[in-house]
């Protein structure tokens, strides 16, 4: 009997020790790297309609038949993606677009695959007419928040409506924090106006979003000309879109000879050099999701820096599905819905991410 008890205790201890060696599922982080992710998660809604929000389509009785089972499946799917990014360690910061509210974020960070990271949540309710917001998850062991703010985008009256429909959009989420108790960085999470009402018709709206973002960048630099800045998210246009060129004006070429007063769009490198995209429209891959950084973050003499080659998109086969239709054939993001047709996937966007070296 004693031998049996001893054997059982030994097996229990071995099991405990084995579980403790699963470093990906512990709240550890690399002291040599820092990874940030930007991910449009395609309508992460709960199943409850809220007055004043256009969220009725994400309820059990809607045409989408969005119920608890589908909701929890999506949470698990998204957590699996986050868990799969960044190699041996979970990402330090995860910026999200298209989340409904704080509750869905609380449910997301509790998912088993990422719960050990103890992700903290930054979220503000925005006036977006669809009821979607931006948010930021961060590992408190590797990133200390100093300041956070929702920057409203109040469209001028001249562009405030489209087809008699008032345009209220999501705020820009601004977060200032310290990486590894050493470097201060500024993060701006964006989700500019979509092309839903027409590409040309919505250019003024995206340009105004870009203007507000650039005003914040200018204010940060006025306070500290050497500030390290990361602007990212779903900007709903490519690197040479009119809003981007008119307001942010990022460099898309001189990554190896950066100037501290310039911003650099690494997503363009991802598309042109790595030949990768984050979004597929009618069979054509493109970049709507961007990571744009200040030049000092490309300086290898900085205590935190990166290179253009370190930007990537998470395009594992699990987040893709194969299509063969009138647009051609190939892989595209495995999405949750196309219209009211449920696919049970992850998102219609792929997450993009950037890893920095800490020295």
Query: What is the predicted pLDDT for the residue at 28?
Result: 65
**Does position 6 have pLDDT exceeding 60, yes or no?**
no
Per-residue pLDDT tens digits for 85-95: 977 899 999 99
Question: In the chain, helix, strand, coil percent, each to 5?
Answer: 25, 30, 40
Tokens of 272: 């042109």
CB atoms within 10 A of CB 285: 19
Give the span between the Cα atoms of 98 and 106, in whole angstroms: 15
Rounded to the nearest 5°, which phi and psi values hold at 31?
Answer: -85, 0
Query: What is the predicted pLDDT for the residue at 5?
Result: 45
The dihedral through the CA atoms of 10, 15, 20, 22 has a sign that is positive
Query: What is the predicted pLDDT for the residue at 210?
Result: 98
pLDDT band for 116, please (50, 70, 90 cuts): confident
Q: What angle do CA 245, 42, 29 make, to 5 degrees?
A: 85
Give the span between the Cα atoms of 211 and 217, in whole angstroms: 10
Query: What is the predicted pLDDT for the residue at 23?
Result: 42
Give the span between the Cα atoms of 259 and 262, in whole angstroms: 6
- Average pLDDT on 114-142 reads 95
Query: What is the predicted pLDDT for the residue at 342?
Result: 97
Query: What is the predicted pLDDT for the residue at 19?
Result: 43
Give the span between the Cα atoms of 43 and 56, in whole angstroms: 12
Give the span between the Cα atoms of 116 and 82, in whole angstroms: 12
CB atoms within 10 A of CB 21: 8
Question: What is the chain's Cα-based Rg?
Answer: 21
Q: Using an 8 Å Cβ cutoff, are 131 and 76 in contact?
A: no
Residues 6+ apart with CB under 8 A from 285: 276, 277, 279
pTM > 0.85: yes
For domain 28-358, give its CATH number from 2.40.440.10, 3.60.10.10, 3.90.1170.50, 3.40.50.720: 3.60.10.10
Mean pLDDT of the chain: 91
**Does position 223 have pLDDT exceeding 60, yes or no?**
yes
> How buried is residue 63: exposed, middle or buried, by Cβ count under 10 Å (0-12/13-18/19+)?
exposed
Per-residue pLDDT tens digits for 267-322: 999 999 999 999 999 999 999 999 999 999 999 999 999 999 999 999 999 999 99
CB atoms within 10 A of CB 215: 13
Give the span between the Cα atoms of 44 and 345, in whole angstroms: 12
């Amino acid at each position: 009997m004693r031998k049996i008890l001893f054997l059982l205790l030994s097996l229990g201890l071995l099991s405990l020790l084995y579980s403790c060696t699963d470093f990906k599922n512990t709240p550890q982080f690399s002291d040599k790297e820092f990874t940030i992710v930007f991910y449009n998660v395609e309508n992460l809604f709960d199943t409850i309609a809220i007055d004043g929000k256009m969220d009725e389509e994400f309820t059990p009785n809607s045409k989408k038949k969005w119920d608890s089972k589908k909701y929890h499946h999506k949470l698990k799917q998204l957590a699996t993606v986050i868990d799969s990014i960044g190699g041996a360690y979970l990402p330090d910061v995860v910026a999200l677009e298209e989340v409904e509210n704080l509750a869905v974020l609380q449910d997301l960070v509790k998912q088993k695959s990422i719960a050990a990271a103890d992700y903290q949540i930054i979220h503000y309710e925005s006036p977006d007419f669809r009821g979607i917001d931006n948010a930021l998850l961060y590992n408190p062991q590797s990133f200390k928040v100093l300041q956070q703010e929702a920057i409203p985008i109040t469209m001028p009256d001249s562009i405030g409506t489209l087809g008699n429909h008032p345009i209220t959009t999501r705020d820009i989420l601004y977060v200032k924090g310290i990486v590894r108790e050493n470097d201060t960085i500024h993060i701006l999470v964006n989700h500019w106006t979509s092309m839903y009402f027409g590409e040309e018709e919505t250019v003024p709206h995206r340009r105004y979003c870009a203007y507000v973002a650039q005003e914040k960048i200018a204010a940060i630099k006025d306070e500290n000309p050497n500030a390290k800045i990361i602007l990212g998210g779903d900007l709903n246009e490519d690197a040479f879109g009119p809003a981007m060129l008119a307001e942010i004006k990022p460099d898309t070429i001189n990554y190896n000879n950066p100037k501290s007063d310039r911003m650099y769009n690494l997503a363009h490198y991802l598309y042109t050099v790595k030949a990768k995209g984050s979004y597929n429209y009618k069979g054509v891959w493109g970049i709507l999701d961007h990571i744009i950084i200040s030049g000092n973050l490309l300086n290898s003499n900085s205590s935190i820096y990166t290179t253009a080659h370190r930007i990537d998109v998470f395009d594992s086969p699990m987040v893709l599905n194969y299509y063969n239709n009138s647009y051609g054939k190939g892989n595209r993001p495995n999405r949750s819905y196309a219209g009211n047709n449920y696919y049970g996937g992850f998102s219609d966007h792929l997450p993009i991410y950037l890893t920095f070296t800490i020295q």
